[in-house]
Structure 1
Amino acid sequence: MSRIGKRPVAIPSGVTANIDDRVLTVKGPKGTLSMGLTDLVEYKLDDAGITVTPINQTKKSRSFWGMQRTMVANLVDGVVEGYSKTLEISGVGYRAAVKGKVLNLQLGYSHDVNLDIPEGLEVKTPDQTTIEISGIDKQSVGQFAAEIRQWRTPEPYKGKGIKYRGEYIFRKEGKKK
């Protein structure tokens, strides 16, 4: 039994949800999100919120149960509060800047890295070593943050690279003489 799947997803005031043709659409103060619904799980919209239950007791149906409930909860949270990730850059000469709809990164390569900012995301650089990504879709915020981090993952000796705020980088001792 899924402990997460048992609980209904509460719909706060100011948010409307609609299930039509196996598509869930959630509309709130920050925008509108929709997702396709799987056939392995049943979705019910009532006064308590959105309830997710498995169609039958097969292993595949039960494995989708908790995940689908969490994805529905992410839609509701996204249109109410939104999501954000903060990246920190450390290293000599490493910096970031937003120029229009392009994120410009200088990461020690012979060229600058220019990344197009996806639709629906807002990217800010309060200073040269901090990147703040925000948006209403949790998946796209996390994906864009991972794509940025992939250009220079933190290395364990000096800690240079791009890391998430609050991430712990295991440091190794260098070569001894």
Structure 2
Amino acid sequence: MRHRSVRALALFGALQAVFSDVHPYCDQIVQSSEDASKKGLPGWEGAKHCARHVTTYTAGQTVASVAVTSALGYRLPLRALAAGTAVNAVTHYVIDRREPFKRFLRSKFIGKGGYLAHATVKRREGVVDEGGPGTALMEMDQAAHRLIGVAASLLTTYLATRNHD
């Protein structure tokens, strides 16, 4: 392998580790309880909580990305870091607003409406949780975020390593 290929592969691996393994911490621990419970509400209220969650999530991912890549001797160009970060942030917002993601999952293209309806959690009489831990929506939310993390890692790596030896 050429030096550039090895360097790109190592950078992709480092970014993928950050985007995948730091994701649950930023998505579930850094997120406030209020944002977690209100980010899917309709209108301005839900949008505000989702934006605040995505801001803290993105800050955590960015700090971790810079820390890990710096520790490995990389200095990511700002445009490369910004591009991967933007992919993660924008898609994270859309997924976490819930309704657009549920419409996508229920579409004929994906066909997961039955799974969404079936895999819910009854917390107490009359209260059904369709989006919390143990539900299809949460599992598919996490799967989508991680898949998008692969794309963000590839984009960041491509932009960081092209035209460099």
TM interval, short-chain normalised: under 0.3
- State the TM-score, normalized to the length of structure 2: 0.27
- State the TM-score, normalized to the length of structure 1: 0.26
Structure with the higher helix share, 1 or 2: 2
Higher relative contact order (CA 8 A, sep 6+): 2
Structure with the higher strand share, 1 or 2: 1
